[in-house]
Amino acid sequence: MRIHNLYVDDAGETHFRDVEVVWTHEGPGGKMADRQPATGIIFRETSGDYNLDWHPAPRRQYIINLDAGVEITVSDGETRTIGAGEVLFVEDTTGKGHLSKAVSGQLRHSIFIPVE
């Protein structure tokens, strides 16, 4: 299972990398990873015309898209579409930040899980 990770380097540039979930437990219910820290859960609805200019993330957090995607561009120029069912871990709380916009005019529901 892949998690998109958005991070900032020492020069303030933002980048993507892929992080693979490490399965540490297996049983009759399937495979599981170790518990990760979290401080809450935020439900969000984003309009289909969402188009946010350069901004850093307000906190380190996981974002799970439920029913539509989001297009993210980082300052090194890479653009990814994070689709429904995919997980993004944002850590660019400083630096140049990233661009975010709706995909194909779709309303999006997502879950934010802060890890402050």
Average pLDDT over residues 31-35: 95
Average pLDDT over residues 53-76: 97
Contacts of 65 (CB under 8 A, 6+ apart): 82, 83, 84, 85, 86, 88, 108, 109, 110
Confidence of residue 43 (pLDDT cuts 50, 70, 90): very high
The whole-number pLDDT of residue 98 equals: 98
The whole-number pLDDT of residue 116 equals: 79
Average pLDDT over residues 43-50: 97
CB of 84 within 8 A of CB of 41?
no
The whole-number pLDDT of residue 13 equals: 96
pTM: 0.93
Range of the domain at 73: 2-21+38-114
State pLDDT tens for residues 65-103. Answer: 999 999 999 999 999 999 999 999 999 999 999 999 999
Mean pLDDT for all residues in the chain: 96
106 domain-assigned: yes
Q: Count of H helices and E strands in the chain?
A: 0, 12
15 domain-assigned: yes
Of the chain, the percentage scoring pLDDT greater than 90 comes to 99
CATH of the domain at 66: 2.60.120.10
In the block, tokens 């049983």 appear at 27
Q: How many domains in the chain?
A: 1
